């Protein structure tokens, strides 16, 4: 899969371009590089979330998701290559269903708040949505497999659900938006 880094500082990007996994070069401001950067940032925030206390099974699942995100970046880095498949998306669907099963039904909007871990899961959710928008923008001009877009769409749903689970794990609950609250 693509080129391996043997040297970190190559100076080849000094002209505003960067190398893709297939050996071609593209502008650092291209839609492909934006999408790659957003997926990389998401993976970094998942890594930060993993610094928090959480159930062991959730930790293992998030580590697996980090590997998937690295694969997703690899797919975006090599035009025409596929690494994210339907089973990756189905696994996220299963996790959303599993974690959502024991949560109370939402009757109000919730704020991205509560425990530190839950708040970080919400940051992951919002960065994931940005990565999704970048992938959609890229796919408007280039052929992209549908699974990366589907994967980040499901992952943002999962991060929302995990934030709710993590608030309960920390002994708290959802922080509800109060639309009638007096603001002063």
DSSP assigned state of 3: P
96 pLDDT higher than 80:
yes
18 pLDDT higher than 80:
no
Beta bridge partners of residue 22, listed in sequence order: none
* DSSP collapsed to 3 states, 79-109: CCCCCCCHHHHHHHHHHHHHHHCCCCCCCCC
DSSP assigned state of 112: S
101 pLDDT higher than 60:
yes
45 pLDDT higher than 60:
yes
Backbone angles phi, psi at 110, to 5 degrees: -115, 155
CB 38 within 8 A of CB 134: yes
Cα–Cα distance, 62 to 88 (Å, whole number): 13
The mean of the pLDDT values for the chain is 91
At 1, the pLDDT band (50, 70, 90 cuts) reads very low
CA distances from 3 to 40, 73, 143 (A): 17, 13, 22
Backbone angles phi, psi at 137, to 5 degrees: -60, -40
Average pLDDT over residues 85-112: 96
| pTM of the full structure | 0.89
Q: Is 54 helix (H, G, I), strand (E, B) or coil?
A: coil
List, for residues 121-174, the tens digit of each pLDDT value. 999 999 999 999 999 999 999 999 999 999 999 999 999 999 999 999 999 999
CB hemisphere CA count around 16 (13 angstroms): 3
């Amino acid at each position: 899969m693509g080129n391996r880094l043997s040297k970190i500082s190559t100076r080849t990007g000094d002209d505003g371009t960067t190398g893709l996994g297939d050996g071609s070069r593209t502008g650092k401001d291209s839609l492909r590089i934006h999408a790659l950067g957003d997926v990389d940032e998401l993976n970094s925030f998942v890594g930060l979330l993993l610094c928090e206390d959480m159930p062991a099974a959730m930790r293992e699942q998030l580590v697996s998701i980090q590997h998937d995100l690295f694969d997703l970046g690899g797919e975006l880095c090599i035009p025409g290559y596929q690494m994210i498949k339907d089973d990756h998306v189905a696994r996220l669907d299963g996790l959303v269903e599993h974690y959502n099963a024991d949560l109370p039904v939402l009757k109000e909007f919730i704020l991205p708040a509560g425990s530190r871990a839950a708040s970080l899961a919400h940051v992951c959710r919002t960065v994931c949505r940005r990565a999704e928008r970048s992938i959609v923008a890229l796919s408007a001009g280039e052929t992209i497999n549908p699974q990366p877009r589907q994967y980040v769409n499901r992952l943002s749903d999962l991060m929302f659900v995990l934030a709710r689970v993590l608030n309960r794990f920390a002994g708290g609950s959802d922080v509800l938006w109060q639309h009638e609250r007096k603001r002063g």
